[in-house]
Amino acid sequence: MTLFPRSPAFQEHPFAEFIKILGKGKKGARPMTQDEAYRAMRMILAGDVLPIQLGAFLMLMRIKEETSEELAGFVQAVREHLGFSTTLTVDLDWSSYAGKRRQLPWFVLSTFLLADNGVTVFMHGAGGHTEGRLYTENVLQAIGVPPAHSLQEAERQLAASRFSYLSLEHICPALFDMINLRPVMGLRSPVHTLVRLVNPFGASHSIQGIFHPSYRQVHQQAALLLGERNMAVLKGEGGETERNPDVDCLVQSVTHGELSDETWPALFERRHMKAESLSPDFLKQVWRGERSDEYGEAAVIATTAVALKLLGRADSQQAAQSLAQSYWDNRQRERLGLLPVDG
């Protein structure tokens, strides 16, 4: 049985170049340059790679972990592949790929606060690739906020109400298929990292959450290589873009094209317990003031504060926290950030 087609006259497949770079033993293997990573991802997205090559490539990358240069090259290829442009001004690109399992996705309410106060927020993510997690798309649907189904529909939602969520499935199906290989491989892949930096609308600012602290600087340096002028990355609760108010939070950023780091202090002396229930309806009740939750409300305000500082709406942590608190106190409780269904 032939497991995969042979190249003509047994010639080496063009993509083999990149597998050799990564897999040539302890002494021969090396990271790819930004250009090599760009060319490799271009071939993958064009469908010019055999399945067995893609599997080998993703797992070799997983073993060594991606560098900033590789990440920048991958993202460059994805942006070129999308070929999407818009005249709409988007203020903040917000990635949501991890899913939650200990706490509700309180950051969703942070995006509603920002949108209600004049910030246009585009959120993108993917759900279902890891068992036992609650994904943003499902939460939004449960509380009555319809996700978009294309970049064009997202554009209309953003123009109408300053917020839209779009699944990776509708942004780049090839990457969506690759991110959903996790149950097959048993491991995450570089796709889980690169999708956070795609920024399809070319937003002037972007914010990302990661789970493994070592990836903070990789994201930060990759953003700089990509020419991003304002971005922030933090170790978020559960790996999502959400500041955990129970612990100190190091935010590593690109600010006006320069690298910067700052630590936001914990807001509580003792950590809160894991949530008893992950019911999306509870988010709605807290937003409307029908229920209260000390941890959740602090997470919403603290996350909003980080975004406000990134956006330049506050020049200090104290000012950002105070402004975020005022947004929360004066939120449009009856609105819940509801978006018009595209017709």
Instruction: List, for residues 64-76, the tens digit of each pLDDT value.
Output: 999 999 999 999 9
Same domain, 51 and 122: no
What pLDDT digit, counting tens, does each position of 163-216 carry?
999 999 999 999 999 998 888 887 778 899 999 999 999 999 999 999 988 899
343 domain-assigned: no
Per-residue tens of pLDDT for the chain, all 343 residues: 455 556 555 789 999 999 999 999 888 899 999 999 999 999 999 999 999 999 999 999 999 999 999 999 999 999 999 999 999 999 999 999 999 999 999 999 999 999 999 999 999 999 776 677 899 999 999 999 999 999 999 999 999 999 999 999 999 999 999 998 888 887 778 899 999 999 999 999 999 999 988 899 999 999 999 999 999 999 999 999 999 999 999 999 999 999 999 999 999 999 999 888 889 999 999 999 999 999 999 999 999 999 999 999 999 999 999 999 999 999 987 766 554 444 3
Predicted local confidence at residue 321, as pLDDT: 98
Give the pLDDT of residue 312: 97
**Does residue 181 sit in the same domain as residue 101?**
yes
How many CB atoms within 10 Å of residue 286?
18
Query: Nearest-CA neighbor of 193 among 174, 183, 203, 179?
Result: 179
pLDDT confidence of residue 335? 67
Is 338 inside any structural domain?
A: no
Is residue 205, in this structure, part of any structural domain at all?
yes
Domain, as residue range, for 165: 92-329
Q: Are residues 167 and 207 in the same domain?
A: yes
Which of 32, 51, 82 is the last residue in one of the domains? 82
In a shared domain, residues 25 and 140: no
My answer on whether 232 and 323 are in the same domain is yes
Write down the pTM of the prediction.
0.92
Q: Mark which of 50, 82, 114 sits at the end of a domain.
A: 82
**The last residue of a domain, from among 82, 107, 122:** 82
16-25: long-range pairs with CB below 8 Å, 24+: 16/53, 18/57, 19/53, 19/56, 19/57, 19/60, 22/57, 22/60, 22/61, 22/64, 23/56, 23/60
Question: Rounded to whole angstroms, how far apart are CA atoms 251 and 30?
Answer: 29
112 and 232 belong to one structural domain? yes
Query: What per-residue confidence (pLDDT) applies to 332?
Result: 83
**Are the beta carbons of 134 and 104 closer than 8 angstroms?**
yes
Q: What are phi and psi of 55, to 5 degrees?
A: -60, -45
Q: Any idea what the CATH number is for the domain that residue 30 is in? A: 1.20.970.10
Q: Is residue 335 part of a domain?
A: no
Amino acid 337: pLDDT? 53
H or E element that contains 295: helix 294-311
Contact partners, residue 277, CB within 8 Å, separation at least 6: none
Q: Does residue 168 sit in the same domain as residue 297?
A: yes
DSSP 8-state class, residue 72: H
Q: Indicate if 238 and 195 belong to the same structural domain.
A: yes
Residue 340 lies in a domain: no
CATH number at residue 97: 3.40.1030.10
Q: Are residues 191 and 306 in the same domain?
A: yes
Q: Are residues 48 and 192 in the same domain?
A: no
Nearest-10 crossing angle of helices 280-288, 107-116: 40
pLDDT for residue 341 = 40
The Cβ-side half-sphere exposure at 255, using a 13 Å CA radius, reads 15
* Whether residues 73 and 112 fall in one domain: no
* Judgement on whether residues 261 and 191 belong to the same structural domain of the protein: yes
Does residue 3 sit within a domain?
no
Predicted pLDDT at 145: 92
Q: Number of folded domains in the chain?
A: 2
